[in-house]
Chain A
Amino acid sequence: MTGELGQLALCFALALSLVMAVCGLLGTRPADSTARHIASGSAMGLLVFVALAFGTLTYAFITSDFSIIDVANNSHTLKPLIYKISGVWGNHEGSMLLWVLVLSIYAALVAGLQRGGARLTSGALGVQGLLAAAFLLFIIFTSNPFLRLDPAPFEGAGLNPLLQDPGLAMHPPMLYAGYVGLSASFAYAAAALLVGEEGWTRAARPFMLIAWIALTCGIALGSWWAYYELGWGGFWFWDPVENASLMPWLIATALLHSALATEKSGAFRTWTLLLAIAGFSMSLIGTFLVRSGVLSSVHAFASDPTRGFFIMVLIALAIGGALALFAWRAPTLQGGAAFDVQSRETMLLLNNVFLVAACACVFVGTLYPLVLDAINGTKISVGPPYFALTFAPIFFALLLLVPLGPRLNWKRGDLKAAWRALYPALGLAGIAALTVLALVSPRSIAATGAFAVAGWLIGASLLDIRKRKGARASAFAAALAHAGLGVSLMGVAGTTLWRSEALSVLAPGQTMTVGPYSLRFDGVTRERGPNYIADRGHIAVMDGGKVSTTLLPEHRFYPAEGQDMNDTAIHTTGFRDLYLALGDDRGGGRFALRAYVSPLAPLIWLGGLVMALGGMLSLWGRLRVKEAEPKPAAPAVALAAE
């Protein structure tokens, strides 16, 4: 019964999304306020029915209803409750349903908040309706999560043990909130092209911020999950699926900056529209890469060519349609702002150039091997060394410029004055560089440079916060986000350049050293988890002959799935991680043990958190300001300089 209810809810949702699409687009005509009301109403209805479908599927997972194929293939009665729930989106069908659920939430927000003019909102709802309809069709026809299985098996096939982790409970919803959040900006941009209404950036700003915050958190979570779960101590692998999430982030970051210029000084109006289209296009391409089975990884649940084909057509229509609309309407928006060479606009433009180039790196590095293979079957690998030589220098150059941007005024800035005001930050950069040179051997240019830039970023942010005390939340938010970049940079540099590792086969009682730590292996016990059996290593971390702490890395075997995996143990001081992974049983009580010491590793994710906090502060400032001042009736384009 539950399955049929979900199925029915999906069909109603599809019908409503079509109504929303048609009425939303009709509502862009000035007189058609009835259509606008219907569009808003259907957005709410869409959310209700998609949520119902999602709730139904969740219920089926919780109750282990194995008469539903999706549940039988991806769940197991012995799984702990949290993984039964997160298992809903740990598979292709359920994750697509989550995608549509998030889309409907954004649509309901657009309809509920009614930011911007009525015609603009209506157009945005129309575009969201089209997207929802396309994805609902995709779900119903190629990825239906409610298909039945007869006879129902007694037990399910289980879920990939890698995915049975609290990280998985949070990572995909967060990432989807970001991916799909860009659909709101996309919809507003398309609507702005349709109705020619300016000020769309102001209406879409909160959605851009939410998407960016969610992407930042999602990427950080994913990287953290890979770090402690995959068992080899890295935090970013330039895996195509990771790249698929990085590309929308880079474009979303560019969009946030460019949209600010459009809103404050009317500059780059067409460019911002194009970025909004590009951002969501990257999300769609990411979805395609991950969902089509073109890539094989933990993320690729689907390996059905019809799905890949369907998504490809969907993407081609969405991106192609938006670009056609852009080509048709954008020329009519030509405004052409006036600003000096030394101005914040110029800095934001540079920011965009570097971010887009960085995105191009990731894009080419991810897709080139696929295309080359398609053309003549040649297989090449594009691994971390490629990105180290292309992405890293471009992003590094961008970081050098970051502190200057906020110190230049809109329209007409003074670069010399900005530079002089930044002397203290330069001093901090020098101190950071000298400290690294003095304390760390062997000396390395990369580490010195990275810490100098981190000092430069953080120093400038501190100056900004001090200078603008009592100023707008937005300035404080920008300073925070930029400081987060510096914090992450230190973590990345420390982990990559100063990591030490050791690998030994140990019998009980034997010791090994890694970095400053001495480790004593106290043997292994056999533990029984809810749905796995584990060898639990007992490793005493020795500090001058005394045991300072005991770490318990596990090597787990999941019988239902027939897979084994590592549960790493990490001891962190906040500035340094000791990371242990238990390897194979080598007989006679001897086990392989892998140990890493990663200096500053926690800063990588702390930096991400600081960036996200900056975003949240900016969002809060926005929503507060909106309450304070009544919505402008006429589109506000050229607000004067701050």
Chain B
Amino acid sequence: MKTVIALLLMMVPALAAPTSSTAASTGATAMAGTFSDPALEARARNLQRQLRCLVCQGESIDESGSPFADDVRHLVRQEIAAGKSDQQIEDFLVARYGDFILMKPPLQSNTWLLWLAPFLVLAAGGTMAWVTVKKASSRSA
């Protein structure tokens, strides 16, 4: 755990340095390539919201004013214009930057617990509640 904290801490300055000046500024969202076709534009915006800005703190590519987000926005729009599907674009970005860039974690061997845990807790809680109520009502009868 200590090494993890150390690792994370090492990342902090790297992440914080470019962010400190950009996190708060709405800055330059790529106005350059706005699609005139509203359907394409909506697709681009939606995709941008699904991608994390890697140099910011919890902002999506859509919200961030960082140069990195700018680049990714350009790339997304280029690829959409080139006729790529959303999936293809995401795959390309994941291959380049890893799963970390996806706001929605993919369902795979190392994330099934993440996705199931809330519902497991719900099921376990529901079962316990059912047993408790059964017991209580048998006492009450």
Docked complex Cα distance between A370 and B60 (Å): 19
Chain B min CB distance to A77 (Å):
22
Asked if A345 and B105 sit within 8 Å, CB to CB, the answer is: no
Asked if B104 and A383 sit within 8 Å, CB to CB, the answer is: yes
Asked if A504 and B31 sit within 8 Å, CB to CB, the answer is: yes
The answer, among B100, B113, B121, for a CB contact under 8 Å with A381, is B100
The answer, among A305, A336, A374, for a CB contact under 8 Å with B136, is A336
Asked if A374 and B125 sit within 8 Å, CB to CB, the answer is: no
Select from chain A the residue with minimum beta-carbon distance to B102. Answer: A381
Chain A positions 371-394 with a Cβ under 8 Å from a chain B Cβ: 372-374, 377-386, 389-391, 394
Chain A positions 580-597 with a Cβ under 8 Å from a chain B Cβ: 581-584, 592, 594
Residues of A within 8 A of B25 (CB): 231, 555, 564-566, 583-584
Asked if B24 and A231 sit within 8 Å, CB to CB, the answer is: yes
Asked if B103 and A353 sit within 8 Å, CB to CB, the answer is: no
Asked if B99 and A381 sit within 8 Å, CB to CB, the answer is: yes
Select from chain B the residue with minimum beta-carbon distance to A361. Answer: B118
With contacts A293-B12, A564-B24 taken as known, whether A384 is within 8 angstroms of B103 at the C-beta atoms is: yes
Residues of A within 8 A of B52 (CB): 381, 383
Asked if B99 and A231 sit within 8 Å, CB to CB, the answer is: no
Docked complex Cα distance between A370 and B7 (Å): 11
In the complex, whether A58 has a CB less than 8 A from a CB of chain B is: no
Asked if B140 and A305 sit within 8 Å, CB to CB, the answer is: no
In the complex, whether B139 has a CB less than 8 A from a CB of chain A is: yes
Chain B positions 86-141 with a Cβ under 8 Å from a chain A Cβ: 98-105, 110-111, 113-115, 117-119, 121-122, 125-126, 128-129, 132-137, 139-140
Docked complex Cα distance between A135 and B16 (Å): 28
Asked if A340 and B137 sit within 8 Å, CB to CB, the answer is: yes
Residues of A within 8 A of B98 (CB): 379
Docked complex Cα distance between A114 and B57 (Å): 45
Chain B min CB distance to A254 (Å):
10
Asked if B65 and A350 sit within 8 Å, CB to CB, the answer is: no
The answer, among B15, B24, B129, for a CB contact under 8 Å with A230, is B24
Docked complex Cα distance between A322 and B27 (Å): 49
In the complex, whether A142 has a CB less than 8 A from a CB of chain B is: no
Chain A count of residues within 8 A CB distance of the other chain: 81
Q: Mark A577-619, 1 if CB is under 8 A from B, else 0.
A: 0000111100000001010000000000000000000000000
Docked complex Cα distance between A584 and B32 (Å): 14
In the complex, whether A296 has a CB less than 8 A from a CB of chain B is: yes
In the complex, whether A6 has a CB less than 8 A from a CB of chain B is: no
Asked if B5 and A305 sit within 8 Å, CB to CB, the answer is: yes
Chain A min CB distance to B141 (Å):
8
Asked if A583 and B65 sit within 8 Å, CB to CB, the answer is: yes
In the complex, whether A622 has a CB less than 8 A from a CB of chain B is: no
Residues of A within 8 A of B39 (CB): none
Chain A min CB distance to B138 (Å):
8
Docked complex Cα distance between A267 and B137 (Å): 12
The answer, among B26, B126, B129, for a CB contact under 8 Å with A592, is B26
| Secondary structure of the A contact surface, majority rule | mixed
Residues of B within 8 A of A231 (CB): 24-26
In the complex, whether A368 has a CB less than 8 A from a CB of chain B is: yes
What 20 additional pairs, Cβ within 8 angstroms, besides A238-B58, A391-B118? A161-B24, A229-B24, A231-B25, A232-B26, A234-B63, A292-B5, A293-B8, A293-B9, A296-B8, A296-B16, A305-B9, A341-B134, A346-B129, A360-B122, A381-B102, A382-B105, A394-B118, A394-B122, A583-B65, A594-B29
Asked if B26 and A505 sit within 8 Å, CB to CB, the answer is: no
Asked if A378 and B26 sit within 8 Å, CB to CB, the answer is: no
In the complex, whether A533 has a CB less than 8 A from a CB of chain B is: no
Chain A min CB distance to B31 (Å):
6
Docked complex Cα distance between A294 and B24 (Å): 21
With contacts A296-B16, A305-B2, A353-B129 taken as known, whether A379 is within 8 angstroms of B100 at the C-beta atoms is: yes
In the complex, whether A462 has a CB less than 8 A from a CB of chain B is: no
Asked if A267 and B12 sit within 8 Å, CB to CB, the answer is: no
In the complex, whether B20 has a CB less than 8 A from a CB of chain A is: yes
In the complex, whether A637 has a CB less than 8 A from a CB of chain B is: no
Asked if B5 and A350 sit within 8 Å, CB to CB, the answer is: no
Residues of B within 8 A of A83 (CB): none
Chain B min CB distance to A138 (Å):
16
In the complex, whether B59 has a CB less than 8 A from a CB of chain A is: yes
Asked if B139 and A350 sit within 8 Å, CB to CB, the answer is: no
Docked complex Cα distance between A127 and B68 (Å): 50
Residues of B within 8 A of A239 (CB): 57-58
Residues of B within 8 A of A372 (CB): 110
Docked complex Cα distance between A53 and B110 (Å): 48
- Pull 29 A–B residue pairs with CB atoms less than 8 Å apart, ordered by A: A268-B132, A292-B5, A293-B8, A297-B57, A300-B12, A305-B2, A338-B137, A339-B137, A339-B140, A341-B137, A349-B133, A352-B129, A360-B118, A364-B118, A373-B7, A379-B98, A379-B99, A381-B52, A383-B103, A383-B104, A386-B115, A394-B118, A564-B25, A581-B26, A583-B65, A592-B28, A592-B29, A594-B26, A594-B29
Residues of B within 8 A of A555 (CB): 25
Select from chain B the residue with minimum beta-carbon distance to A234. Answer: B63
Asked if B26 and A356 sit within 8 Å, CB to CB, the answer is: no
With contacts A305-B9, A563-B24, A564-B25 taken as known, whether A381 is within 8 angstroms of B136 at the C-beta atoms is: no
Residues of A within 8 A of B110 (CB): 372, 378, 380
Chain B min CB distance to A33 (Å):
39
In the complex, whether A328 has a CB less than 8 A from a CB of chain B is: no
Select from chain A the residue with minimum beta-carbon distance to B30. Answer: A503
Residues of B within 8 A of A234 (CB): 63
Asked if B1 and A374 sit within 8 Å, CB to CB, the answer is: yes
With contacts A305-B9, A390-B115 taken as known, whether A345 is within 8 angstroms of B24 at the C-beta atoms is: no
